[in-house]
Amino acid sequence: MAKMKAVQVPKAGADFEVVEREIPQPGPGEVRIRVQACGVCHSDVITKEGAFPGINYPRVPGHEVAGLIDETGERVTNWKKGQRVGVGWHGGQDGTCLPCRRGDFGNCLNLKISGVSFDGGYAEYMVAPVEALAQMPESLDAAEAGPLLCAGVTTFNSLRHSGAMPSDLVAIQGIGGLGHLGIQFAQKFGYKVAAVGRGSENAALAKKLGAHVYIDSAATDAAAELQKLGGARVILATAPNSKSMSALIPGLGTNGRMMVVGATMDPIEVTPIGLIFGMKSIQGWASGIPTDSEDTLRFAELTGVRPMIEKFPLEKAAEAYARMMSGKAQFRVVLTM
């Protein structure tokens, strides 16, 4: 049997291992992908540390996968060998639970997650169910496309469902892996974009990415600054810091909405009166399904939105993961095969 290189987590909390494995065969309704690039996402912590119950180890992480279909299993009709595809967080749905019966596949009660429920993209080849596949435009670079399948679709999809209209004031909290894409999408959607970060050193980059205004939350009351601009129609909260999210809520305008995509375990604090007056709301947003990823990829291709990335070879996955966890990466770390 032909062999491939893969990076696996042998058990919850263990170090990454670079191993040789047999190249997997796709089953019915699955395809095998020759991986060209795979983003390293903070959510890979779930596999690395065993944060979800029922993960079968050893497990190969990775849910920001760009590659080519290399083999199709039985009953696969719409996908062809050689086709460019991406695989994101959404690894498939059961099709039978109540949300699925209502067509709400993103909220499937038995959602499969790439690199958690089955082996992901920290490998030269991976197998994925057809429900997880997104078509990828030919012109996109694989290493740049990978992060668009997680950080990209999360920011693109949350903004387009936020209720903001062109020329509305939209604030992007945090200029990191999610935020640097959020700023670009918001600007391309025609919003007036206020980037909110800590420290003046982010100002030039925020403006370069498309922000019209930069607000330094370390030097000013960011919510008050947003109110001076008329109040935000939407605040996209990307930095995983509940305190800074709480502090920004008073910056919402009437009918304003905070879209929460930065995942933390601490509570967001808000007074009921602060929501009642002006009829403001707070909504969480998960990434999206593969058709949302396709929309994201097409929009990025059309408008030139791209992640800023740092590349590492597959065998340096442990180093790449440490770089991502350090919070110092500019801004997404990607493994290339």
Q: What is the CATH number of the domain that holds 8?
A: 3.90.180.10
Together in a domain, 14 and 145: yes
pLDDT tier for residue 1 given thresholds of 50, 70 and 90: confident
Q: What is the mean pLDDT of residues 30-49?
A: 98
Whole-angstrom distance, CA of residue 122 vs CA of residue 107: 26
pLDDT tier for residue 51 given thresholds of 50, 70 and 90: very high
Query: Can you give the pLDDT at residue 315?
Result: 97
> Rounded to whole angstroms, what are the CA distances from 182 to 28, 132, 207, 238, 242?
37, 23, 13, 8, 18
Query: Can you give the pLDDT at residue 117?
Result: 98
Q: What is the mean pLDDT of residues 96-115?
A: 98
Angle at which helix 153-160 crosses helix 179-188, to 10 degrees, equals 40
Which residues lie across from 33 on neighbouring strands?
Answer: 69, 126
Together in a domain, 130 and 29: yes
Together in a domain, 211 and 297: no
Together in a domain, 280 and 258: yes
Whole-angstrom distance, CA of residue 232 vs CA of residue 309: 29
Q: What is the mean pLDDT of the chain?
A: 97
Together in a domain, 111 and 196: no
Task: Give me the count of residues in the chain.
Answer: 337
Give the model confidence (pLDDT) of 55-77 as tens digits. 999 999 999 999 999 999 999 99
Does residue 321 surpass a pLDDT of 90? yes
How many domains does the chain divide into? Answer: 2
Which residues lie across from 40 on neighbouring strands?
Answer: 333
Give the model confidence (pLDDT) of 135-189 as tens digits. 999 999 999 999 999 999 999 999 999 999 999 999 999 999 999 999 999 999 9
The Cβ of residue 215 has, within 10 Å, a number of other Cβ atoms equal to 25
Angle at which helix 290-303 crosses helix 179-188, to 10 degrees, equals 70
Whole-angstrom distance, CA of residue 52 vs CA of residue 320: 22
**Under a CB-based contact definition with an 8 Å cutoff, are residues 163 and 233 in contact?**
yes
The torsion angle over the Cα atoms of residues 105, 111, 116 and 120, rounded to 10 degrees, is: -40
Q: What is the CATH number of the domain that holds 271?
A: 3.40.50.720
Together in a domain, 276 and 292: no
Together in a domain, 171 and 248: yes
203: exposed, middle or buried (Cβ count in 10 Å: 0-12, 13-18, 19+): middle
In three-state secondary structure terms, 281 is strand
Q: Is residue 79 part of a domain?
A: yes
Does residue 245 surpass a pLDDT of 90? yes
Starting from the edge strand earliest in sequence, which strands make up the sheet with 192-197, in order? 213-216, 192-197, 169-173, 232-237, 252-260, 281-284
Give the model confidence (pLDDT) of 197-223 as tens digits. 999 999 999 999 999 999 999 999 999
Domain of residue 180: give its range.
Answer: 162-284
Query: Can you give the pLDDT at residue 306?
Result: 98
